[in-house]
Amino acid sequence: MSYDNTQPPMPGYTPPPAPGYYAPQPPQAPQGPKRTTTVLIAAGAAVVAAVLAAVVTASVSGDGKAEAAPTVTVTRTAPAEGDTAADDSATDAADSDAPAEESGDDSYGFDDTIAYDNDVEISLTKITRAVSGEYASPEKTPYAKFTIKIVNKSDKKIDASMMTVNCAYGDEGKEGESIYDDGLDGLPDTSILAGRSLSVPWGCELPKGQSFLQIEVAPDYESETAIFTGKVK
């Protein structure tokens, strides 16, 4: 007699797969390249960069056009007139016969007027010798005294406090210290309006045994330096 207790399978029932067995996955369609997405991202970045560049340019120039910094050059013009010719004693103190070419093509004589292409002119007048006072800085020092004249023929005002002045003396080119004394107060804290001029008295150290003097003047930090050279008697 047989005793088989195995129950018959239920209708519609599928037995689970044996351990380690997995049904094969259906094949997936191959994915195309992502070139389209990459191109779209790059194009969007280019558009954003172009917009930012346009905004920056417009903020700089105000009208959407970039403006270049003004280029200033120095040219030689006719000898200065006015104070130099009127003051005979001051003219005699400076040896105007000494040619500026002795110091190079980039230098000018004491009697020259330097004209910039932005319609600003610089000249020197009344070059004389003096000795600083007891309370000057530096005190009791021989120096050359002169006046720097700035003529503003442009349509914009000039900040006179931005002017630079440097001096050197002697054949070896030793730096001459600026003199601060009565009437020599350094750079003025004022502006030169369009169509106006300003005269600034200045002093540079010049020992008694020296006669060659080099005076460097620039109306502002961006302008080319005008170099005046000559001999002071």
Beta-carbon contacts of 16 under 8 Å, excluding residues fewer than 6 positions away, are: none
Residue 44, token pair as written in the block:
């969007």
In tens, the pLDDT along 112-132 reads 999 999 999 999 998 999 999
The model's pTM: 0.62
**Structure confidence at residue 28 (pLDDT):** 56
The percent of residues in the chain predicted with pLDDT above 90, rounded, is: 52
What's the CA gap between 104 and 116, in Å, rounded? Answer: 19
Q: Report angle CA 230, 95, 198 to the nearest 5 degrees.
A: 70
* Overall residue count recorded for the chain in this entry: 233
For residue 228, is pLDDT > 50? yes
In tens, the pLDDT along 27-74 reads 555 554 444 444 444 445 554 455 444 443 444 444 555 555 445 566
For residue 108, is pLDDT > 60? yes
From the list 181, 186, 145, 146, the residue with the least C-alpha distance to 162 is: 186
